Chains A and B, each alone.
Chain A
Amino acid sequence: MSTDRSGQLDLDSVYRAEYGRCVATLTRLLGDITLAEEAVQDAFAVAVQKWHEAPPPNPGAWIVTTARNRAIDRLRRESTREARHAQALLLHQGDEPEEVGAVRDDQLRMIFTCCHPALSPLAQTALTLRLLGGLEVAQIARAYLVPEATVAQRIVRAKKKIRDAGIPYRVPDAAELPDRLTSVLTVLYLVFNEGYTSTSGELLRTDLCLEAVRLARALAELMPDEPEVIGLLALLLLTEARRPARVGPSGELVVLAEQDRSLWNRELIAEGHDLVRRCLRRARPGPYQLQAAINAVHTDGPATDWAQVLALYDQLLQHTPTPIVALNRAVAVAEVHGPAPALATIDELDLPGYHLLPATRADLLTRLGRTTDAIAAYDEAITLATNDTQRTFLQTRRARLGREARDDKER
Protein backbone atom coordinates (compact mmCIF):
# COMPACT_ATOMS: atom_id res chain seq x y z
CA MET A 1 0.00 0.00 0.00
CA SER A 2 1.41 3.37 -0.89
CA THR A 3 1.50 6.01 1.79
CA ASP A 4 3.30 9.31 1.68
CA ARG A 5 5.85 10.46 4.25
CA SER A 6 3.23 11.66 6.70
CA GLY A 7 1.84 8.11 6.74
CA GLN A 8 -1.22 9.23 4.82
CA LEU A 9 -2.69 6.99 2.23
CA ASP A 10 -1.71 8.04 -1.29
CA LEU A 11 -5.11 7.49 -2.89
CA ASP A 12 -4.03 9.14 -6.15
CA SER A 13 -1.43 6.53 -6.93
CA VAL A 14 -3.82 3.71 -6.01
CA TYR A 15 -6.34 5.32 -8.33
CA ARG A 16 -3.85 5.51 -11.20
CA ALA A 17 -2.71 1.93 -10.67
CA GLU A 18 -6.12 0.31 -10.14
CA TYR A 19 -8.66 2.39 -12.05
CA GLY A 20 -8.13 0.75 -15.44
CA ARG A 21 -8.12 -2.78 -14.06
CA CYS A 22 -11.26 -2.19 -12.00
CA VAL A 23 -13.20 -0.58 -14.87
CA ALA A 24 -12.19 -3.47 -17.15
CA THR A 25 -13.51 -6.06 -14.70
CA LEU A 26 -16.69 -4.12 -13.93
CA THR A 27 -17.34 -3.70 -17.68
CA ARG A 28 -17.40 -7.49 -18.00
CA LEU A 29 -19.69 -7.78 -14.97
CA LEU A 30 -22.07 -4.99 -16.02
CA GLY A 31 -21.82 -5.22 -19.79
CA ASP A 32 -21.48 -1.44 -20.10
CA ILE A 33 -18.45 0.85 -19.83
CA THR A 34 -20.28 3.92 -18.54
CA LEU A 35 -22.02 1.97 -15.76
CA ALA A 36 -18.67 0.38 -14.89
CA GLU A 37 -16.96 3.77 -14.62
CA GLU A 38 -19.72 5.16 -12.43
CA ALA A 39 -19.52 2.15 -10.12
CA VAL A 40 -15.72 2.37 -9.82
CA GLN A 41 -15.91 6.10 -9.10
CA ASP A 42 -18.55 5.43 -6.44
CA ALA A 43 -16.23 2.84 -4.88
CA PHE A 44 -13.31 5.27 -4.80
CA ALA A 45 -15.55 7.85 -3.13
CA VAL A 46 -16.28 5.26 -0.43
CA ALA A 47 -12.56 4.50 -0.20
CA VAL A 48 -11.78 8.17 0.53
CA GLN A 49 -14.00 7.93 3.63
CA LYS A 50 -13.01 4.47 4.80
CA TRP A 51 -9.35 3.97 3.98
CA HIS A 52 -7.76 6.70 6.07
CA GLU A 53 -7.50 4.37 9.01
CA ALA A 54 -7.11 0.87 7.68
CA PRO A 55 -6.34 0.49 3.95
CA PRO A 56 -7.23 -3.00 2.69
CA PRO A 57 -4.40 -5.39 1.78
CA ASN A 58 -5.62 -5.70 -1.82
CA PRO A 59 -7.07 -2.32 -2.85
CA GLY A 60 -8.00 -3.45 -6.38
CA ALA A 61 -10.15 -6.37 -5.13
CA TRP A 62 -11.72 -4.08 -2.52
CA ILE A 63 -12.66 -1.54 -5.20
CA VAL A 64 -14.12 -4.23 -7.49
CA THR A 65 -16.26 -5.74 -4.71
CA THR A 66 -17.42 -2.35 -3.47
CA ALA A 67 -18.12 -1.15 -7.01
CA ARG A 68 -20.18 -4.25 -7.73
CA ASN A 69 -22.25 -3.80 -4.58
CA ARG A 70 -22.77 -0.12 -5.33
CA ALA A 71 -23.81 -0.99 -8.88
CA ILE A 72 -26.38 -3.49 -7.61
CA ASP A 73 -27.79 -0.84 -5.24
CA ARG A 74 -27.92 1.72 -8.00
CA LEU A 75 -29.56 -0.67 -10.47
CA ARG A 76 -32.19 -1.68 -7.91
CA ARG A 77 -33.22 1.97 -7.66
CA GLU A 78 -33.61 2.26 -11.42
CA SER A 79 -36.19 0.29 -13.31
CA THR A 80 -35.18 0.63 -16.95
CA ARG A 81 -34.81 -2.44 -19.10
CA GLU A 82 -31.03 -1.96 -19.31
CA ALA A 83 -30.83 -1.70 -15.53
CA ARG A 84 -32.72 -4.96 -15.06
CA HIS A 85 -30.55 -6.66 -17.63
CA ALA A 86 -27.34 -5.46 -15.98
CA GLN A 87 -28.62 -6.39 -12.55
CA ALA A 88 -29.40 -9.89 -13.72
CA LEU A 89 -25.85 -10.19 -15.07
CA LEU A 90 -24.40 -8.99 -11.78
CA LEU A 91 -26.42 -11.27 -9.57
CA HIS A 92 -25.29 -14.28 -11.57
CA GLN A 93 -21.72 -13.58 -10.52
CA GLY A 94 -20.71 -15.32 -7.32
CA ASP A 95 -18.91 -13.70 -4.44
CA GLU A 96 -15.69 -15.65 -4.90
CA PRO A 97 -12.61 -13.52 -5.48
CA GLU A 98 -11.65 -12.89 -9.11
CA GLU A 99 -8.99 -15.13 -10.52
CA VAL A 100 -5.81 -13.38 -11.64
CA GLY A 101 -6.21 -14.80 -15.16
CA ALA A 102 -9.74 -13.47 -15.53
CA VAL A 103 -8.70 -9.97 -14.43
CA ARG A 104 -5.86 -9.98 -16.96
CA ASP A 105 -8.24 -11.02 -19.72
CA ASP A 106 -10.51 -8.13 -18.77
CA GLN A 107 -7.71 -5.66 -19.37
CA LEU A 108 -6.81 -7.22 -22.67
CA ARG A 109 -10.45 -7.09 -23.78
CA MET A 110 -10.58 -3.44 -22.79
CA ILE A 111 -7.45 -2.59 -24.81
CA PHE A 112 -8.94 -4.17 -27.92
CA THR A 113 -12.30 -2.48 -27.40
CA CYS A 114 -10.73 0.97 -26.90
CA CYS A 115 -8.54 0.55 -29.99
CA HIS A 116 -11.29 -0.84 -32.23
CA PRO A 117 -10.81 0.39 -35.82
CA ALA A 118 -14.49 1.41 -35.99
CA LEU A 119 -13.56 4.29 -33.62
CA SER A 120 -11.68 7.35 -34.88
CA PRO A 121 -7.94 7.36 -34.11
CA LEU A 122 -8.36 10.28 -31.71
CA ALA A 123 -11.20 8.56 -29.89
CA GLN A 124 -9.07 5.40 -29.61
CA THR A 125 -6.25 7.35 -27.98
CA ALA A 126 -8.49 9.32 -25.63
CA LEU A 127 -10.40 6.20 -24.55
CA THR A 128 -7.20 4.22 -23.98
CA LEU A 129 -5.71 6.96 -21.80
CA ARG A 130 -8.96 7.44 -19.88
CA LEU A 131 -10.09 3.83 -19.40
CA LEU A 132 -6.77 1.99 -19.22
CA GLY A 133 -4.45 4.72 -18.02
CA GLY A 134 -6.91 6.26 -15.57
CA LEU A 135 -5.94 9.74 -16.81
CA GLU A 136 -8.51 12.44 -16.11
CA VAL A 137 -10.17 14.18 -19.04
CA ALA A 138 -8.36 17.39 -18.01
CA GLN A 139 -4.97 15.65 -18.18
CA ILE A 140 -5.68 14.24 -21.64
CA ALA A 141 -6.89 17.66 -22.81
CA ARG A 142 -3.72 19.30 -21.49
CA ALA A 143 -1.50 16.68 -23.12
CA TYR A 144 -3.09 17.16 -26.53
CA LEU A 145 -3.70 20.90 -26.12
CA VAL A 146 -7.38 20.64 -26.95
CA PRO A 147 -10.27 21.98 -24.90
CA GLU A 148 -11.47 19.72 -22.10
CA ALA A 149 -15.00 19.77 -23.52
CA THR A 150 -13.69 18.36 -26.82
CA VAL A 151 -12.02 15.40 -25.12
CA ALA A 152 -15.03 14.78 -22.89
CA GLN A 153 -17.34 14.83 -25.91
CA ARG A 154 -15.13 12.46 -27.90
CA ILE A 155 -15.03 9.99 -25.02
CA VAL A 156 -18.78 10.14 -24.48
CA ARG A 157 -19.41 9.67 -28.20
CA ALA A 158 -16.97 6.75 -28.43
CA LYS A 159 -18.55 4.98 -25.45
CA LYS A 160 -21.97 5.52 -27.00
CA LYS A 161 -20.79 4.01 -30.26
CA ILE A 162 -19.28 1.01 -28.46
CA ARG A 163 -22.65 0.37 -26.84
CA ASP A 164 -25.00 1.20 -29.73
CA ALA A 165 -23.02 -0.28 -32.63
CA GLY A 166 -22.24 -3.40 -30.63
CA ILE A 167 -18.44 -3.19 -30.58
CA PRO A 168 -17.65 -6.42 -28.73
CA TYR A 169 -15.81 -6.62 -25.43
CA ARG A 170 -13.51 -9.50 -26.29
CA VAL A 171 -10.06 -10.39 -27.54
CA PRO A 172 -10.25 -10.87 -31.32
CA ASP A 173 -9.84 -14.41 -32.64
CA ALA A 174 -6.67 -15.59 -34.36
CA ALA A 175 -7.84 -14.60 -37.85
CA GLU A 176 -8.59 -10.99 -36.88
CA LEU A 177 -5.75 -10.61 -34.40
CA PRO A 178 -2.92 -9.35 -36.67
CA ASP A 179 -5.01 -6.41 -37.97
CA ARG A 180 -6.51 -5.58 -34.61
CA LEU A 181 -3.21 -5.81 -32.79
CA THR A 182 -1.75 -3.34 -35.28
CA SER A 183 -4.24 -0.69 -34.23
CA VAL A 184 -3.53 -1.33 -30.52
CA LEU A 185 0.23 -1.00 -31.08
CA THR A 186 -0.31 2.15 -33.15
CA VAL A 187 -2.26 3.80 -30.33
CA LEU A 188 0.45 3.04 -27.74
CA TYR A 189 3.17 4.19 -30.14
CA LEU A 190 1.33 7.45 -30.87
CA VAL A 191 0.73 8.12 -27.17
CA PHE A 192 4.45 7.69 -26.50
CA ASN A 193 5.44 9.81 -29.50
CA GLU A 194 3.15 12.63 -28.47
CA GLY A 195 4.85 12.55 -25.07
CA TYR A 196 8.38 12.39 -26.49
CA THR A 197 7.92 15.07 -29.17
CA SER A 198 4.76 17.00 -28.54
CA THR A 199 2.96 18.45 -31.51
CA SER A 200 3.12 21.89 -29.92
CA GLY A 201 4.22 23.73 -26.83
CA GLU A 202 6.98 22.10 -24.79
CA LEU A 203 9.03 19.25 -26.17
CA LEU A 204 8.22 16.59 -23.60
CA ARG A 205 5.02 15.49 -21.91
CA THR A 206 6.48 13.01 -19.50
CA ASP A 207 3.21 11.59 -18.19
CA LEU A 208 2.27 10.41 -21.69
CA CYS A 209 5.65 8.68 -22.11
CA LEU A 210 5.32 6.92 -18.78
CA GLU A 211 1.73 5.91 -19.46
CA ALA A 212 2.61 4.46 -22.88
CA VAL A 213 5.49 2.47 -21.34
CA ARG A 214 3.22 1.22 -18.56
CA LEU A 215 0.54 0.09 -21.04
CA ALA A 216 3.12 -1.50 -23.36
CA ARG A 217 4.49 -3.42 -20.37
CA ALA A 218 1.00 -4.59 -19.45
CA LEU A 219 0.34 -5.66 -23.06
CA ALA A 220 3.68 -7.54 -23.20
CA GLU A 221 2.76 -9.34 -20.00
CA LEU A 222 -0.63 -10.25 -21.46
CA MET A 223 0.67 -11.30 -24.89
CA PRO A 224 4.26 -12.48 -24.34
CA ASP A 225 4.25 -14.57 -27.53
CA GLU A 226 3.55 -11.71 -29.94
CA PRO A 227 6.96 -10.56 -31.21
CA GLU A 228 5.70 -7.13 -32.30
CA VAL A 229 4.29 -6.49 -28.81
CA ILE A 230 7.73 -7.25 -27.33
CA GLY A 231 9.28 -5.15 -30.10
CA LEU A 232 7.12 -2.13 -29.25
CA LEU A 233 7.95 -2.42 -25.55
CA ALA A 234 11.68 -2.64 -26.34
CA LEU A 235 11.42 0.36 -28.68
CA LEU A 236 9.67 2.47 -26.03
CA LEU A 237 12.11 1.44 -23.27
CA LEU A 238 15.19 2.20 -25.36
CA THR A 239 13.77 5.59 -26.38
CA GLU A 240 12.52 6.42 -22.89
CA ALA A 241 16.00 5.56 -21.52
CA ARG A 242 17.47 8.51 -23.45
CA ARG A 243 14.83 11.02 -22.35
CA PRO A 244 16.94 12.57 -19.52
CA ALA A 245 19.66 13.49 -22.04
CA ARG A 246 17.30 14.80 -24.69
CA VAL A 247 16.78 18.25 -23.20
CA GLY A 248 19.69 20.48 -22.14
CA PRO A 249 19.95 22.66 -19.02
CA SER A 250 17.95 25.52 -20.53
CA GLY A 251 15.28 23.30 -22.05
CA GLU A 252 16.93 23.10 -25.46
CA LEU A 253 16.80 20.01 -27.70
CA VAL A 254 19.98 17.89 -27.67
CA VAL A 255 20.40 15.61 -30.70
CA LEU A 256 21.48 11.99 -30.24
CA ALA A 257 25.09 12.55 -31.35
CA GLU A 258 25.56 15.35 -28.78
CA GLN A 259 23.79 13.68 -25.85
CA ASP A 260 25.57 13.05 -22.56
CA ARG A 261 25.38 9.26 -22.51
CA SER A 262 26.01 9.11 -18.77
CA LEU A 263 22.50 10.53 -18.32
CA TRP A 264 20.90 7.57 -20.06
CA ASN A 265 18.95 5.13 -17.91
CA ARG A 266 21.14 1.99 -17.89
CA GLU A 267 18.43 -0.21 -16.37
CA LEU A 268 15.91 0.54 -19.12
CA ILE A 269 18.62 0.05 -21.75
CA ALA A 270 19.58 -3.36 -20.34
CA GLU A 271 15.91 -4.39 -20.27
CA GLY A 272 15.39 -3.15 -23.84
CA HIS A 273 18.48 -5.01 -25.09
CA ASP A 274 17.23 -8.24 -23.46
CA LEU A 275 13.89 -7.88 -25.22
CA VAL A 276 15.55 -7.19 -28.59
CA ARG A 277 17.64 -10.36 -28.19
CA ARG A 278 14.44 -12.26 -27.42
CA CYS A 279 12.94 -10.94 -30.67
CA LEU A 280 16.05 -11.87 -32.66
CA ARG A 281 15.85 -15.47 -31.39
CA ARG A 282 12.25 -15.64 -32.55
CA ALA A 283 13.21 -14.47 -36.04
CA ARG A 284 9.77 -13.09 -36.97
CA PRO A 285 10.79 -9.49 -37.60
CA GLY A 286 8.28 -6.66 -37.93
CA PRO A 287 8.43 -2.85 -37.99
CA TYR A 288 8.46 -2.34 -34.20
CA GLN A 289 11.11 -5.02 -33.63
CA LEU A 290 13.30 -3.49 -36.34
CA GLN A 291 12.95 -0.01 -34.86
CA ALA A 292 13.79 -1.48 -31.45
CA ALA A 293 16.88 -3.14 -32.94
CA ILE A 294 17.97 0.21 -34.43
CA ASN A 295 17.61 1.83 -31.02
CA ALA A 296 19.50 -1.07 -29.44
CA VAL A 297 22.43 -0.27 -31.75
CA HIS A 298 22.20 3.44 -30.84
CA THR A 299 22.39 2.57 -27.12
CA ASP A 300 25.12 -0.06 -27.41
CA GLY A 301 28.69 0.97 -26.53
CA PRO A 302 30.20 4.47 -26.60
CA ALA A 303 29.16 5.31 -30.20
CA THR A 304 26.61 4.21 -32.80
CA ASP A 305 27.60 1.52 -35.31
CA TRP A 306 26.06 3.25 -38.33
CA ALA A 307 26.67 0.41 -40.80
CA GLN A 308 24.52 -1.83 -38.64
CA VAL A 309 21.86 0.87 -38.32
CA LEU A 310 21.78 1.27 -42.11
CA ALA A 311 21.40 -2.51 -42.61
CA LEU A 312 18.43 -2.48 -40.21
CA TYR A 313 16.86 0.52 -41.99
CA ASP A 314 17.18 -1.36 -45.28
CA GLN A 315 15.13 -4.17 -43.74
CA LEU A 316 12.64 -1.74 -42.20
CA LEU A 317 12.15 0.03 -45.54
CA GLN A 318 11.30 -3.34 -47.12
CA HIS A 319 8.70 -4.00 -44.42
CA THR A 320 7.29 -0.46 -44.30
CA PRO A 321 8.15 1.46 -47.48
CA THR A 322 6.98 4.85 -46.20
CA PRO A 323 8.64 8.23 -46.89
CA ILE A 324 9.26 8.71 -43.14
CA VAL A 325 11.28 5.48 -42.93
CA ALA A 326 13.15 6.52 -46.10
CA LEU A 327 13.95 9.88 -44.50
CA ASN A 328 15.29 8.26 -41.32
CA ARG A 329 17.29 5.82 -43.41
CA ALA A 330 18.89 8.79 -45.22
CA VAL A 331 20.42 9.92 -41.92
CA ALA A 332 22.16 6.54 -41.67
CA VAL A 333 23.19 6.74 -45.35
CA ALA A 334 24.87 10.08 -44.61
CA GLU A 335 26.85 8.57 -41.75
CA VAL A 336 27.97 5.54 -43.77
CA HIS A 337 28.34 6.88 -47.33
CA GLY A 338 28.45 10.66 -46.83
CA PRO A 339 25.95 13.54 -47.23
CA ALA A 340 25.81 13.59 -51.07
CA PRO A 341 24.25 10.11 -51.59
CA ALA A 342 21.95 10.76 -48.60
CA LEU A 343 20.71 13.99 -50.18
CA ALA A 344 20.03 12.13 -53.43
CA THR A 345 17.82 9.59 -51.60
CA ILE A 346 15.63 12.25 -49.98
CA ASP A 347 15.28 14.53 -53.00
CA GLU A 348 12.45 12.41 -54.37
CA LEU A 349 10.55 12.13 -51.07
CA ASP A 350 7.12 13.70 -50.81
CA LEU A 351 6.26 14.64 -47.22
CA PRO A 352 4.19 17.82 -47.37
CA GLY A 353 4.15 19.80 -44.12
CA TYR A 354 6.67 17.56 -42.34
CA HIS A 355 9.42 19.81 -40.93
CA LEU A 356 12.00 17.03 -40.51
CA LEU A 357 12.37 16.66 -44.30
CA PRO A 358 13.72 20.22 -44.86
CA ALA A 359 15.55 19.99 -41.50
CA THR A 360 17.39 16.87 -42.67
CA ARG A 361 18.07 18.48 -46.05
CA ALA A 362 19.44 21.54 -44.26
CA ASP A 363 21.83 19.42 -42.21
CA LEU A 364 23.07 17.49 -45.27
CA LEU A 365 23.49 20.72 -47.30
CA THR A 366 25.45 22.25 -44.40
CA ARG A 367 27.80 19.30 -44.42
CA LEU A 368 28.24 19.68 -48.19
CA GLY A 369 29.17 23.36 -47.69
CA ARG A 370 26.11 24.59 -49.64
CA THR A 371 25.37 27.28 -47.06
CA THR A 372 22.83 29.35 -49.01
CA ASP A 373 20.72 26.28 -49.85
CA ALA A 374 21.04 25.08 -46.25
CA ILE A 375 19.74 28.40 -44.89
CA ALA A 376 16.76 28.24 -47.26
CA ALA A 377 16.03 24.66 -46.09
CA TYR A 378 16.27 25.73 -42.42
CA ASP A 379 13.83 28.57 -43.11
CA GLU A 380 11.37 26.10 -44.60
CA ALA A 381 11.79 23.74 -41.62
CA ILE A 382 11.32 26.61 -39.11
CA THR A 383 8.04 27.57 -40.79
CA LEU A 384 6.77 23.99 -40.63
CA ALA A 385 7.91 23.10 -37.08
CA THR A 386 4.97 23.02 -34.64
CA ASN A 387 6.90 22.54 -31.41
CA ASP A 388 8.67 25.51 -29.73
CA THR A 389 11.76 23.56 -28.69
CA GLN A 390 12.29 22.14 -32.15
CA ARG A 391 11.79 25.57 -33.69
CA THR A 392 14.39 27.08 -31.34
CA PHE A 393 16.80 24.26 -32.18
CA LEU A 394 16.43 24.93 -35.91
CA GLN A 395 16.77 28.70 -35.41
CA THR A 396 20.02 28.18 -33.47
CA ARG A 397 21.42 26.00 -36.27
CA ARG A 398 20.38 28.52 -38.89
CA ALA A 399 21.89 31.44 -36.96
CA ARG A 400 25.20 29.59 -36.63
CA LEU A 401 25.23 29.03 -40.40
CA GLY A 402 24.44 32.68 -41.06
CA ARG A 403 27.40 33.76 -38.94
CA GLU A 404 29.72 31.32 -40.72
CA ALA A 405 28.52 32.59 -44.11
CA ARG A 406 29.30 36.19 -43.07
CA ASP A 407 32.70 35.18 -41.68
CA ASP A 408 33.51 33.45 -45.01
CA LYS A 409 32.66 36.60 -46.94
CA GLU A 410 34.81 38.78 -44.72
CA ARG A 411 37.78 36.43 -45.01
Chain B
Amino acid sequence: MKKYLLAVQFDESAPSPSEGEMQEQQARTAKVTAEMQSAGSWVFVGGLLPSHATTVVRPGNGTTTMTDGPFAETKEQLGGFWVIRCDDLDQALAWAEKCALACGAPIEVRPFEDAQWT
Protein backbone atom coordinates (compact mmCIF):
# COMPACT_ATOMS: atom_id res chain seq x y z
CA MET B 1 0.00 0.00 0.00
CA LYS B 2 1.13 3.51 -0.80
CA LYS B 3 0.06 6.73 0.88
CA TYR B 4 -0.96 9.74 -1.18
CA LEU B 5 -1.64 13.37 -0.34
CA LEU B 6 -4.66 14.83 -2.13
CA ALA B 7 -4.13 18.60 -1.77
CA VAL B 8 -6.98 20.95 -2.61
CA GLN B 9 -5.78 24.04 -4.50
CA PHE B 10 -8.17 26.90 -3.75
CA ASP B 11 -8.16 30.07 -5.82
CA GLU B 12 -8.20 32.74 -3.10
CA SER B 13 -8.74 35.57 -5.58
CA ALA B 14 -12.13 34.14 -6.61
CA PRO B 15 -15.23 35.65 -4.94
CA SER B 16 -16.10 33.66 -1.82
CA PRO B 17 -19.09 31.34 -2.17
CA SER B 18 -22.41 32.04 -0.44
CA GLU B 19 -23.32 30.40 2.86
CA GLY B 20 -25.59 27.94 1.03
CA GLU B 21 -22.92 27.03 -1.54
CA MET B 22 -20.40 26.53 1.25
CA GLN B 23 -22.71 24.12 3.06
CA GLU B 24 -23.40 22.15 -0.11
CA GLN B 25 -19.69 21.86 -0.77
CA GLN B 26 -19.02 20.69 2.76
CA ALA B 27 -21.76 18.08 2.41
CA ARG B 28 -20.18 16.84 -0.83
CA THR B 29 -16.67 16.58 0.62
CA ALA B 30 -18.00 14.88 3.77
CA LYS B 31 -19.65 12.31 1.52
CA VAL B 32 -16.38 11.58 -0.29
CA THR B 33 -14.60 11.24 3.06
CA ALA B 34 -17.27 8.79 4.25
CA GLU B 35 -16.79 6.76 1.07
CA MET B 36 -13.03 6.69 1.67
CA GLN B 37 -13.60 5.51 5.21
CA SER B 38 -15.88 2.65 4.23
CA ALA B 39 -13.45 1.62 1.45
CA GLY B 40 -10.61 1.52 3.98
CA SER B 41 -8.61 4.14 2.04
CA TRP B 42 -8.97 7.05 4.47
CA VAL B 43 -6.08 8.15 6.71
CA PHE B 44 -6.68 11.85 7.43
CA VAL B 45 -8.67 14.84 6.24
CA GLY B 46 -8.53 18.51 7.16
CA GLY B 47 -9.70 21.87 5.84
CA LEU B 48 -7.46 24.93 6.26
CA LEU B 49 -8.31 28.56 6.92
CA PRO B 50 -7.37 31.01 4.15
CA SER B 51 -3.82 32.31 3.88
CA HIS B 52 -4.53 35.56 5.81
CA ALA B 53 -4.06 33.42 8.95
CA THR B 54 -0.70 32.04 7.80
CA THR B 55 2.74 32.79 9.26
CA VAL B 56 6.06 31.60 7.83
CA VAL B 57 9.04 30.83 10.08
CA ARG B 58 12.39 30.89 8.24
CA PRO B 59 15.73 29.57 9.50
CA GLY B 60 18.93 31.61 8.99
CA ASN B 61 22.23 32.13 10.85
CA GLY B 62 21.20 29.72 13.56
CA THR B 63 18.09 31.73 14.38
CA THR B 64 14.69 32.29 12.80
CA THR B 65 12.60 35.13 11.42
CA MET B 66 8.83 35.31 11.12
CA THR B 67 6.83 36.82 8.30
CA ASP B 68 3.12 37.37 7.91
CA GLY B 69 1.38 35.56 5.06
CA PRO B 70 1.94 32.43 3.03
CA PHE B 71 5.30 31.24 1.67
CA ALA B 72 4.48 32.15 -1.90
CA GLU B 73 2.14 34.96 -2.97
CA THR B 74 0.16 32.98 -5.54
CA LYS B 75 -3.52 32.90 -6.36
CA GLU B 76 -3.85 29.22 -5.54
CA GLN B 77 -3.27 28.20 -1.96
CA LEU B 78 -3.52 24.93 -0.11
CA GLY B 79 -7.11 24.90 1.10
CA GLY B 80 -7.29 21.47 2.68
CA PHE B 81 -6.16 17.93 2.12
CA TRP B 82 -6.82 14.25 2.42
CA VAL B 83 -4.26 11.55 3.14
CA ILE B 84 -5.29 8.23 1.67
CA ARG B 85 -3.85 4.75 1.47
CA CYS B 86 -4.24 2.71 -1.73
CA ASP B 87 -2.61 0.16 -4.02
CA ASP B 88 -1.49 2.40 -6.86
CA LEU B 89 -1.79 5.78 -8.56
CA ASP B 90 -4.90 4.74 -10.51
CA GLN B 91 -6.83 4.25 -7.27
CA ALA B 92 -5.52 7.55 -5.89
CA LEU B 93 -6.54 9.33 -9.12
CA ALA B 94 -10.04 7.84 -8.90
CA TRP B 95 -10.42 9.39 -5.41
CA ALA B 96 -8.89 12.65 -6.64
CA GLU B 97 -11.54 12.86 -9.36
CA LYS B 98 -14.28 12.60 -6.72
CA CYS B 99 -12.53 15.18 -4.52
CA ALA B 100 -12.09 17.63 -7.42
CA LEU B 101 -15.78 17.43 -8.29
CA ALA B 102 -16.82 17.76 -4.63
CA CYS B 103 -14.58 20.79 -3.95
CA GLY B 104 -14.87 22.39 -7.37
CA ALA B 105 -11.11 22.93 -7.20
CA PRO B 106 -7.99 21.27 -8.64
CA ILE B 107 -6.47 18.46 -6.59
CA GLU B 108 -2.73 17.84 -6.50
CA VAL B 109 -1.94 14.15 -6.03
CA ARG B 110 1.43 13.44 -4.41
CA PRO B 111 2.78 10.14 -3.19
CA PHE B 112 4.42 9.98 0.23
CA GLU B 113 8.05 8.96 0.34
CA ASP B 114 8.86 5.29 0.82
CA ALA B 115 5.23 4.33 1.17
CA GLN B 116 5.87 0.73 0.19
CA TRP B 117 6.76 -0.27 3.73
CA THR B 118 4.31 1.76 5.77
Contact = CB atoms under 8 A, between A and B. Distances in A.
A352 B91 CA distance: 38
A168 B93 contact: no
A31 to B, nearest CB: 10
B111 A167 contact: no
Contacts of B117: 81
B87 interface: yes
B48 interface: no
A176 B94 CA distance: 10
B28 interface: no
Contacts of A81: 117
| Most B-side CB within 10 Å, residue of A81, A164, A166, A168 | A166
A168 B111 contact: no
B25 to A, nearest CB: 26
A35 to B, nearest CB: 15
| Most A-side CB within 10 Å, residue of B90, B109, B115 | B90
B54 to A, nearest CB: 28
- B contact patch SS: helix
A100 interface: no
B88 interface: yes
A165 B89 CA distance: 6
Contacts of A166: 2, 87-89, 92, 111, 115
Contacts of B111: 164-166
Interface residues of A, number: 10
Interface size, B (range): 10 to 19
A172 interface: yes
Nearest to B117: A81
Nearest to A81: B117
A166 B92 CA distance: 9
Contacts of B88: 166-168
A118 interface: yes
Nearest to A180: B90
A118 B87 contact: no
Contact of A168 (B89, B109, B115): B89
A118 B2 contact: no
A159 to B, nearest CB: 14
A172 B90 contact: yes
Interface in B83-116: 87-90, 92-93, 109, 111, 115
Contacts of B115: 166
B68 to A, nearest CB: 35
A285 to B, nearest CB: 28
Contacts of B109: 165
Contacts of B92: 166
B41 to A, nearest CB: 14
Given A164-B111, A166-B2, A176 B89 contact: no
A168 B2 CA distance: 12
| Most A-side CB within 10 Å, residue of B87, B89, B111, B117 | B89
Interface string A150-177: 0000000000000011111000100010
B32 to A, nearest CB: 18
Interface string A76-113: 00000100000000000000000000000000000000
Nearest to B88: A168
Nearest to A118: B89
A164 B115 CA distance: 9
A166 B90 CA distance: 8
Contacts of B90: 167-168, 172, 176
A168 B111 CA distance: 13
A166 B88 CA distance: 5
Interface string A113-148: 000101000000000000000000000000000000
A81 B116 CA distance: 11
Contacts of B2: 166
A29 B93 CA distance: 26
11 contacts: A81-B117, A118-B93, A166-B88, A166-B89, A166-B92, A166-B115, A167-B90, A168-B87, A168-B88, A168-B89, A172-B90
Interface of A: 81, 116, 118, 164-168, 172, 176
Cβ-closest 6 pairs across A and B: A168-B88, A166-B88, A166-B89, A166-B2, A167-B89, A165-B89
Given A166-B115, A168-B89, A176-B90, 15 more contacts: A116-B89, A118-B89, A118-B93, A164-B111, A165-B109, A165-B111, A166-B2, A166-B87, A166-B89, A166-B92, A166-B111, A167-B90, A168-B87, A168-B90, A172-B90
